[in-house]
Amino acid sequence: MKRNWSINRRTFLRGAAGAMMPLPFLNLMEASADTGVKNLAGETAPPLRFLSLFKPNGVHPPSWNINGGTENDFRMSPLMAPFSQHQDDLLILDNMGDFGFSSHMNSTRRFQGGHHGNTKQASMDQLIAGHIGGDTAHRSLELTTEGIFTGQVGCSYISYGPNGEPLPRESDPQLIFDRLFRSPLDIPSKRDEMTSLLDRVRDDAKSLMRKAGTEDKDTLDEYLSVVRQTEKRIEVMNRGANPSPIKFEDIERPPIATNLNEQVETMIDLIALAMWTDSTRCASYMLGNSNSRMVFDFLGITEQHHYLSHFFRNFSRENIDSLLKISLWHMEKFDYLLTRMKSYKDHNGSLLDHSVVLFGSGMGHSDNHTAQRVPTILAGQGGGMLKTGRYLRYSENQELGDLHLSLLQGFGVPMDSFANSTIPLPGLDGGSFNEFRERPFDSWINLSSGKITVQGRLVMSENLDEAKTFYMEVAGKEPLRVDVGFRDFHDFNLAYHVGTPIVLTGNREEKNGQLLMTKVSDLKSVFGKSKPGQKGG
């Protein structure tokens, strides 16, 4: 594929954390028409890209979930505020997940593997990369922020190779920059420099050779043979080198990141740049391992993320504030990515228009590890693959594998099943889907001595001061407050039933004149199964 970019101006874009990162003035640049691939009609279309952004440790559901609203008329949740400006480019999916609970390891596998049990197959990003990579210099990028969690290796990977094996990932933006744009012998000026260097060190080695004994000579011979081999490589490259379509020398190396925020924003800059220069068409990026224990000291937080994410058992107002600060930071990075991608013009649109971005977490409730209502958002039109600006709340739990299968097919990968899934997720392109509709149910409260039984919808408090408190909504009455300990929260899987009608029985208490339930003794789901963990649950 012939490419014909030229960059003739240099200026500064805002780089990581306000630092000025010298880059070509890309906003004004427009890739020429022949950068794309021909579509069936013989018209040139820009290449499609896929990238994913993984958020560790689930969410605090009341802050994340959209409750109410319809496909085209909805209000984004508090946690979505940082990227709400991109609403038109988003396809927010709700009711994605399996039918049970998720370990951290499962959540990483589920995110791009369709199902947590799918451990012998490549992840969807890799399957897409294999199909759309074409003759790009890098088939795909697997990126992360954090080291490997050796105790549970699975927590550290979202991208898996052909046999389901975890693929090595890279965390250092400078290393990625160098891999993309500084491959030493790819750059003519670097080749010239190396040639002069080889001349000089050869002279040096030869002058040592004159004074050398046998052993020195053997060593110097070995050294000189490497010098010669390197010269040969350069000759070959000089002869065969096509003039690079874009002068990578003009792109300046980003400075060293001094904190996590800079590290991540620089990496996102690079992802967008790599896509725009068509160095790669596929990237996956983990904002942290799925059980990340990072300490966000630059946000003034001293507790580990994983500890905070278990916000029920480790409840305090400060802890929940810290957890939400971390989650909001994740959301800001998603916003940063989308903004960056929109800033690159690509044919008659932006880079984002010709991409599909998958953002999500692999698990829902971060303390109870539910595998339902798993945060999942798609961004970008994917060249028409997706109809964005909508909120799709499915009537039933949809396995992530269904979503992955439809994306695989959208990218043209010839597959009719992926993981457990054989039916692509409907509705992404604007087609019809089964929308969530609440079935009518009765609600009532029954009081007996010391006990209380109530039928109604279970909800989590939206008041952060009482983030571990639940309420039972009963028509025509004040919601009944449910204050339970960790044991009940855990044993009755309260978080799993949130948003659905249940019959709850427990101890009755009165505090400051307010009726409340303290100890749960029984839970029955009105429509589903009371013991979650299986289909129909």
Partner 1 sequence: MLPNIRQFLYSICVVGFLPFASSAIDGTPESVSAFLDQYCIQCHGGEKVKGKVDFTTVSVETASTEHFDFWQLAAEMVDYEDMPPEDEKQPSTEERAAFQAWYDSNYVTVAASPGVFQPRRLSTPEYRNTMRSLFGFDLENKVAKAEQTAIEPSLILKLMPTDPPGESGFINDTHAAPLSTVIWDQYAYFSEVALQQLFSPHRHQQLSLMLGEELPNGFEHSDFTQEHARRLLQHFAPIAYRRPFDKKALNKILTPLKPLSGVKLVNALKFEMKTILMSPGFLYRGMRMGKTPGEQQPVDRYELAERLSYFLWEDMPDEELRQCAADGSLNDLEILSAQIERMLASPKAISLADSFATQWLALDEIDDAYNDPYLLDSYKNQPLDFLNYLFTENRPVMELIDSDVTFASHVTASVYPKDKNKLEKYIKPKGIEKQVAPNQKLLLEHTEGRGGLLTMPAVLAMNRGPILRGTWTLRKILGEHLGEPPADVPPIQSTMGGKKLSFREKFEHHRADASCARCHDKIDPIGFAFEGYNDKGAFLLASDNSPLPKGMQSKEKPPENIDASGRLTTGESFQDFEELKDLFLSVRREDIVRNAVEQTLSYALCRKLESHDGPTVKIITTTLLESDGTWQDLFTGVANSLPFRETIFSNDSDS
Minimum distance between the CB of residue 311 and partner 1, rounded to whole angstroms?
12
Instruction: Report the candidate in 182, 184, 162 with the shortest Cα–Cα distance to residue 174.
Output: 182
> How far is the CA of 69 from the CAs of 75, 76, 390, 393, 441, in angstroms?
7, 9, 11, 9, 20
For position 292 contacting partner 1 by CB under 8 A, the verdict is yes
Nearer to partner 1, 167 or 295 (CB): 295
Amino acid code (one letter) for 368: N
Nearer to partner 1, 156 or 406 (CB): 156
> What's the N-to-C CA distance of the chain in angstroms?
52
| Residue 197 touching partner 1 (CB under 8 A) | yes
Report which of 290, 36, 343, 336 is spatially closest to residue 145, judged by C-alpha positions: 290
**Phi, psi for 510 (deg, rounded to 5):** -125, 130
Which is nearest to 254 in space by CA: 174, 143, 172? 174
Cα–Cα dist 279/264, whole Å:
19
Phi and psi torsions of 24, nearest 5°: -60, 155
Report in angstroms how near the CB of residue 199 gets to partner 1 at its nearest: 10
Local structure of residue 13 (DSSP, 8 states): E
In angstroms, give the least distance from the CB of 319 to partner 1.
Answer: 7
Q: State which of positions 167-196 bind partner 1 (CB under 8 A).
A: 171-175, 178, 184, 193-194, 196
Q: How many CA atoms lie within 13 A of 145 on its CB side?
A: 28
Take residue 77 and report the two structure tokens written for it: 């949740």
313 forms part of the interface with partner 1 (CB under 8 A): no
Side-chain half-sphere exposure of 140, counting CA atoms within 13 A? 26
Q: What type of residue is 239?
A: R
Residue 384 touching partner 1 (CB under 8 A): no
Contacting partner 1 (CB under 8 A), which of 121, 126, 136, 263?
263
Query: For partner 1, which is the closer residue by CB, 172 or 250?
Result: 172
Residue closer to partner 1 by CB (options 117, 147) is 147
Contacts (Cβ under 8 Å, ≥6 apart) of 433: 392, 394, 425, 426, 427
CB count within 10 Å of CB 6 equals: 10
Q: Which of 40, 42, 68, 150 binds partner 1 (CB under 8 A)?
A: 150
Q: How far is the CB of 227 from partner 1 (least distance, A)?
A: 8
| 288 binding partner 1? (CB under 8 A) | yes
Region from 120-128, 257-265, 386-394, 461-469 binding partner 1, contact rule CB under 8 A: 257-265
Shortest distance in whole angstroms from residue 257 CB to partner 1 = 6
Among 302, 448, 449, 512, binds partner 1 (CB under 8 A): 302
How many amino acids of this chain bind partner 1 (CB under 8 A)? 58
Instruction: Give me the least distance between CB of 218 and partner 1, in Å please.
Output: 9
**CA distance linking residue 85 with residue 334, whole number of Å:** 12
CA distance 128 to 51: 10
Q: How far apart are CA 352 and CA 356, in angstroms?
A: 7
Torsion of CA 363, 365, 370, 376, to 10 degrees: -40
Q: Which of 256, 423, 447, 475 binds partner 1 (CB under 8 A)?
A: 256
User: CA-CA distance, 386 to 358, in Å (whole number)?
Assistant: 12
Position 147 contacts partner 1 (CB under 8 A) = yes
Shortest separation between residue 337's beta carbon and partner 1, angstroms? 18
- String of contacts with partner 1 for each residue 209-238, x by CB under 8 A: --xxxxxx--xx-xx--x--xx--x-----
519: contact with partner 1 by CB under 8 A: no
Rank residues 167 and 208 by Cβ distance to partner 1 and give the closer one: 208
Give me the 81-100 binding string for partner 1, x by CB under 8 A, dash otherwise: --------------------
Stretch that binds partner 1, among 63-71, 158-166, 248-256, 516-524 (CB under 8 A): 248-256
In angstroms, the CA 513 to CA 329 distance is 40
The position carrying tokens 């149910």 is: 441
Task: Work out how close the CB of 253 gets to partner 1 at its nearest, in angstroms, rounded to a whole number.
Answer: 7
**Residue 321, token pair as written in the block:** 């504030």
User: Does residue 303 touch partner 1 according to CB under 8 A?
Assistant: yes
> For 14-69, what is the HEC assignment?
ECHHHCEEEEECHHHCCCCHHHCEECCCCCEECCCEEEEEECCCCECHHHHCCCCC
d(CA 309, CA 164): 28
What are 516's strand-pairing partners? Answer: 481, 509
Strand spans (E) along 292-402: 345-346, 349-350, 355-360, 376-379, 390-398
Min dist CB 186 to partner 1, Å, is 12
Is residue 142 part of the contact set for partner 1 (CB under 8 A)? no
18 binds partner 1 (CB under 8 A): no
Per rule CB under 8 A, is residue 149 in the interface with partner 1? yes
446 near partner 1 (CB under 8 A): no
Least distance CB 21 / partner 1 (angstroms): 13
The verdict on 314 binding partner 1 (CB under 8 A) reads yes
**Least separation in angstroms between CB 393 and partner 1:** 34
- Closest approach of Cβ 181 to partner 1, in Å? 13
Window 338 to 377, contacts with partner 1 (CB under 8 A): none
Among 158, 275, 294, 337, binds partner 1 (CB under 8 A): 294
Residue 253 vs 535, nearer CB to partner 1:
253
d(CA 408, CA 410): 5
Examine residue 436 and tell whether it contacts partner 1 (CB under 8 A): no
Q: Whole-angstrom Cα distance, residue 397 to residue 214?
A: 75
The least CB distance from residue 22 to partner 1, in Å, is 13
**Residue ranges in contact with partner 1 by CB under 8 A:** 145-151, 156, 171-175, 178, 184, 193-194, 196-197, 200-201, 204-205, 208, 211-216, 219-220, 222-223, 226, 229-230, 233, 253, 255-257, 260, 263, 288-289, 292-295, 302-304, 306-308, 314, 319
